[in-house]
Structure 1
C-alpha cells in the first residue's frame, strides 16, 4: 500500500472500506480464470482473496453494517467450497512432483490408483465450485458488496482515528492465540525426556524421537491443526494493519507465516496419509512402505521447525513484547521507523 493511500485513509471506516475493496478486486480478477480451470494458481489466488476478505469483515466487524449476502457466514461458505478443490490440487501436486518420482516402481504402480481416484474427486469438486461461482447467491454477494462499497454503511464508531483503535482490533485475536492449548502439545513429553526443571519452555527438538512425535500427533494433532487456524486469523488480521507498524511488527507477522507453514506441512502429510488409506483400503505401511517412511520423516522435520517457534512463543517475555508492539502503532504514517 502506498504512503499516499495511507495518508488519505484516516478513520476506522475508511480503512475497513479500503481493505474490503482490495480483496474484492482480487477475487473478481481471478474469477474468470478459475472457471476456465487451466491454472491451479488462479484458484489459489481467489481463495486467498476470499480468506482475506473474510478476515477483513471479521476484523472490522465492530464498525461494519454489511448487507446480509455479504456477511461473514456467506463468505465462509464460498471459501470452504474453493478450499475443497484447492486441497485436492495441493495433494495431487505433492504426489506427482514430490513423491511419485522418488518411489520404487512397485509403489508408483499403486500410486496411480490414488491418482485416478483423486482426479475423479477433483472433477466433482470443480463442478461444485463452478456451480457456486455461477449461482444467484454468489452474484448477489458480489453485487451487494459492491453496492456497499459505493455507499458504505457503518456503526457509530466509524469516525474513530484508526491509530487509536488498532490495539483493540488486534489484541483479542492475539489473546486467543496465546491461550490456545495447541502450544502445550508435546510439552509433557519434552519435560519427561529431559533433566530440565524449567516447565515453561521445551528444551529442544532433539529430545523427542520421530516415533514419539508420531504418537503425539496421533493423540493431539487436532489441537495443532486448530492452532494453525488461529495463527492464520492473526496473520491475516495483522496484514491489514502492517502500514501502521515498524520492523518488530513485521518480524512477528513473519513468525505467523512461518508457524502456519510448518503446522501446515504436518497437517498436509496427515491428510495425505488418510486419503491414501481410504483409496487403497489398507495401511500404507504395508502397500507403500517407502512412501510411508517419507511422510513420517517429512512430518518429523516440520515438527522440529515448529518446535523452535513453540519454545519461543511459550516465553513470557516474548509474549509481553508482542502485546507491547501492538499497543504502539506509528502515529505518523509517513514514517516507518522502528516503533
Structure 2
C-alpha cells in the first residue's frame, strides 16, 4: 500500500486501553512531536522524515479544526495557519516521493517513459526540498511551543466521546456522504478528489475525538481513505506524465494509460464494494451518531459550550437566565402561550440546563 502508513488506534474493545492510547496521542503529544520531527527532517528531507512531520502537523491541524467549531479562542486558527505553509510545501514534496514509488511499481527501470518521469521528479525533488527548507526556517517554533502549553489546557473542558463531538462528526459525515453520492453518480476525477478530502475530515474527527468509535471503525476508515488516496495519486501521476510529454510514442502512451486505468479502477471497485448496498460502511458509521431528537439536543449543547467559553462569568449568566425564565412564567400565568413561544422558552431553558 502506497499511502496511509500512520497506525490507527488499537481495535481492542477495552475502553481503558483506548483511553490510555488517547493520552499518548493527544494534542500536547502531537505538538511536541512536530518540534521533534522538525529536527529530524532538516537532515535531508527524505521520504520517511517528510512523511512523519506531515503526520504530526496534520494531527495538530485536524485537532484544531475540530476545536475551531466549538471553541472561539483565536489561538486555534492561529496555530492551524502557522503550520499551513510548511505542511503545504512538505505535501508537494511528499507527492513527488509517492510518484517515484508508483513509477517503480508500474514500469521497468528501462522503460523510456519511466526514465523521463524519474528524471523530471528528481529535478523537481531538488527544487521542493529547497522550498521546504525555507518554509521550515520560517516556522516559528517558539510560538508553537507556547501554543503547545496553552491549547491542550483548553481541550480539558470537553471530554472525548461526548455528544458534542458526535454532533461534529455527524456534520462531517453528512458532508462526506453527499460527496460520496456525487462521486458514485458522476465518477469524475474531481468528484473523487472532493470525496477523498471530505472523508478525510470525517475520519480525523472520529480519530481525534471519538475513541470508542475509532476503535471500531478505524481500520475501515483508514482503508477507504487509502483507496481514494491511491486513486488521487494515480490521477496526479497521469497528469504529470502527460504534462511533461513523457511518452516517446502513441503505443507507450496507450500502455501507460491502460496500466494506470487498471490500477485506478481496481481501487474504485473495492471502494464501491465497501460503501454501496445494505452493508455500506456509510450506514455503519451513521448508526452510532446522533439520531432524531439527539441531533437538536447535541446542537444546543454545542451552543452552550460556545457561550460558556466566550462568557467570562458563565455561571452568573445562567443565574440571570433562570431569573428571566421565572419572570416569564410568572407573567404568562394562566394565559395561553403559543406553541412558538413555548418552543422558544424550551430552547432558552435547554441552553442553561
TM-score by length of 2: 0.67
**Deviations 1:1-59 (CA, angstroms, capped at 9, x unpaired):** 8949948x9xxxxx8x9732121122222222311126411111111111111100011
Residue in structure 2 matching 1:159, options 129, 134, 157: 157
Verify: 1:42 aligned to 2:49, yes or no: yes
Q: Check conservation: 1:55, 1:237, Cα contact below 8 A.
A: yes
Aligned to 1:78: 86
**Deviations 1:134-161 (CA, angstroms, capped at 9, x unpaired):** 12xx12xx32232133345977x96345
Aligned to 1:24: 31
Q: How does 1:150-299 map to 2 (within 5 A)?
A: 150-152=149-151, 159-162=157-160, 163-180=162-179, 182-187=180-185, 217=187, 220-243=188-211, 245=212, 249-280=214-245, 286-299=251-264
Deviation for aligned residue 1:316:
8.2
DSSP-derived class of the 1:185 partner: helix
**Deviations 1:84-113 (CA, angstroms, capped at 9, x unpaired):** 0000010012212x0232x7x5xx123212
Aligned to 2:3: none
Residue in structure 2 matching 1:58, options 59, 65, 83: 65
Using a 3 Å threshold, how does the CA distance of structure 1 residues 30 and 161 change in structure 2: closer, same or farther?
closer
Deviation for aligned residue 1:294:
1.4
Q: Check conservation: 1:63, 1:158, Cα contact below 8 A.
A: no
Verify: 1:95 aligned to 2:94, yes or no: no
Aligned to 2:137: 134
Q: Which of the pair has more CA radius of gyration?
A: 2
**Deviations 1:225-273 (CA, angstroms, capped at 9, x unpaired):** 1111111111122111343x16xx5333322211111111211111111
Using a 3 Å threshold, how does the CA distance of structure 1 residues 31 and 122 change in structure 2: closer, same or farther?
same
Deviation for aligned residue 1:296:
1.4
**Deviations 1:150-205 (CA, angstroms, capped at 9, x unpaired):** 345977x963454353323322212222232x323344xxxxxxxxxxxxxxxxxx
Q: In structure 2, how many angstroms separate the alpha carbons of the residues matched to 1:4 and 1:307?
A: 33
DSSP-derived class of the 1:45 partner: helix
Aligned to 1:122: 125
Q: In structure 2, how many angstroms separate the alpha carbons of the residues matched to 1:125 and 1:260?
A: 26
Q: Check conservation: 1:67, 1:145, Cα contact below 8 A.
A: no
Aligned CA-pair RMSD: 3.4
TM-score by length of 1: 0.70
Q: Check conservation: 2:30, 2:59, Cα contact below 8 A.
A: yes
Q: In structure 2, how many angstroms separate the alpha carbons of the residues matched to 1:111 and 1:18?
A: 40
Q: Check conservation: 2:170, 2:290, Cα contact below 8 A.
A: no
DSSP-derived class of the 2:237 partner: helix
Q: Check conservation: 2:100, 2:118, Cα contact below 8 A.
A: yes
Listed as ranges, the gaps of 5+ residues in structure 2 are 1-8, 10-14, 295-353
Using a 3 Å threshold, how does the CA distance of structure 1 residues 168 and 315 change in structure 2: closer, same or farther?
closer
Aligned to 2:12: none
Q: Check conservation: 2:177, 2:282, Cα contact below 8 A.
A: no
Using a 3 Å threshold, how does the CA distance of structure 1 residues 293 and 276 change in structure 2: closer, same or farther?
same
Q: Check conservation: 1:114, 1:280, Cα contact below 8 A.
A: no
Listed as ranges, the gaps of 5+ residues in structure 1 are 10-14, 188-215, 328-339
Q: In structure 2, how many angstroms separate the alpha carbons of the residues matched to 1:41 and 1:173?
A: 30
Deviation for aligned residue 1:274:
0.8
DSSP-derived class of the 1:60 partner: helix
